[in-house]
Amino acid sequence: MPAKLSVNLNAVALLRNRRDLPWPSVTGLGRAALTACAHGLTVHPRPDERHTRFSDLPELRALIDDEFPKAEFNVEGYPTEDFLQLVEKHQPDQVTLVPDDPSQPTSDHGWNFVEQQAFLTSIVKRLKKSGFRVSLFSDADPSQVSAARDTGADRIELYTGPYGGCHSDPERAARELEKVGKTADAAMAAGLAVNAGHDLVVANLPALIKRIPDLAEVSIGHGLTADALEYGMAETTRRFLRACGW
């Protein structure tokens, strides 16, 4: 089965937040993506609410529950107590833990699983006790995979920023893709499922899918939202689904 597509709505929320107005509607564009057969929605509610607001979560949870019950809700974030209480309140299907500082404009690196294994293990245990699937944001580094597995997480999400950043350098892109692929191979051999995300676009998705044919999910926001300005959210979602092999 091809990788599922989760549409990240952070960039939509960031655009909305430029004005004290309710548009573009995060929930409305989430509905458009799901109507076009996206498999789920992703948000990353940072403490300063600079894009996704805490008030978006109950609306998106209700959208999925009421209209698209087969879709999944993925919430990303650094596991502060406030974040953990937020996900426990709104019950996403998947919680993706990322190591970003609140001041970062976007996630730009994965966890050091060896150094932070004890910390992550306690968080993963708490989340899994509540019934969540847990994914951990990961650099393309096979040597970290066993420590990631030992946290008890279900999946890793491969940070594909270095691969996506090679859009004008095919040789470098091939090298970065192989790093991502070898990490995925190691993760699957260790019993972890693999997601991927960051700077993925229609042009670079097919090579990623070919290298990692058992990829479980891609979470895509910036590139998808940029394309939606040209093609509309529904058609853009269909374009990305085709790039994933659907």
What amino acid positions are annotated as catalytic residues? 44, 76, 198
Residue 174 CA neighbour count, 13 Å, CB half: 2
Helix spans in 2-70 (H): 10-16, 26-35, 56-67
Q: Is 49 left (phi over 0), alpha (psi -120 to 50) or beta?
A: left
| Helix runs in 39-144, H state only | 56-67, 81-90, 117-129
- Give the sign of the dihedral formed by CA 39, CA 44, CA 45, CA 50: negative
